[in-house]
């Protein structure tokens, strides 16, 4: 197997199981109870016994848009500075942007080409 083709996955221990998550196919992580849920592009959801703070350190292409959500920047389709919201792929999901995250989000998006 050519290792240059295989993209790295994120290993998450979850109770008595281990999840190998593909960050490129995850739209976002959101807080659920004591842990969080990963929502895949396919619609699949995985509940994780992990706080977003710990997960945030493992996923570089994700942005902490507010206290409850880590969004994959590659799936953002719209950001409304007036409404202080961001939309993930085709208006399916909308999240409020914390006021203190607005400038940092704009800086993160500056890496994308115009």
User: Residue ranges per domain, the chain?
Assistant: 10-109
Predicted TM-score (pTM) of the model is: 0.86
pLDDT at 112: 80
Q: Looking at residue 5, what is its pLDDT?
A: 61
Tell me, which fold does domain 10-109 have in CATH? OB fold (Dihydrolipoamide Acetyltransferase, E2P) (2.40.50)
DSSP conformational letter for 43: S
What's the CA gap between 13 and 113, in Å, rounded? 36
Residue 6: its pLDDT value, please? 64
Instruction: Extract the tokens encoding 77.
Output: 């389709």
Is residue 26 within 8 A of residue 73, CB to CB? The reply is no
Q: What is the pLDDT along the chain (114 residues), one digit of tens a residue?
A: 455 566 788 888 888 889 899 999 999 999 998 899 999 999 999 999 989 999 998 888 899 999 999 999 999 999 998 889 888 886 789 999 999 999 999 999 988 876
């Amino acid at each position: 197997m050519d290792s240059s083709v295989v993209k790295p996955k994120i290993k998450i221990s979850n109770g008595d199981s281990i999840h190998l998550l593909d960050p490129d196919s995850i739209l976002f992580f959101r807080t659920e109870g004591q842990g969080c849920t990963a929502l895949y592009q396919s619609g699949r959801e995985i509940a994780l016994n992990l706080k977003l703070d710990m997960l945030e350190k493992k996923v570089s292409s994700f942005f902490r848009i507010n206290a409850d959500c880590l969004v994959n920047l590659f799936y953002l389709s719209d950001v409304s500075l007036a409404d202080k919201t961001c939309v993930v792929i085709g208006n399916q999901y909308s999240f409020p942007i914390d006021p203190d995250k607005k400038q940092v989000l704009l800086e993160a998006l500056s890496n994308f080409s115009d």
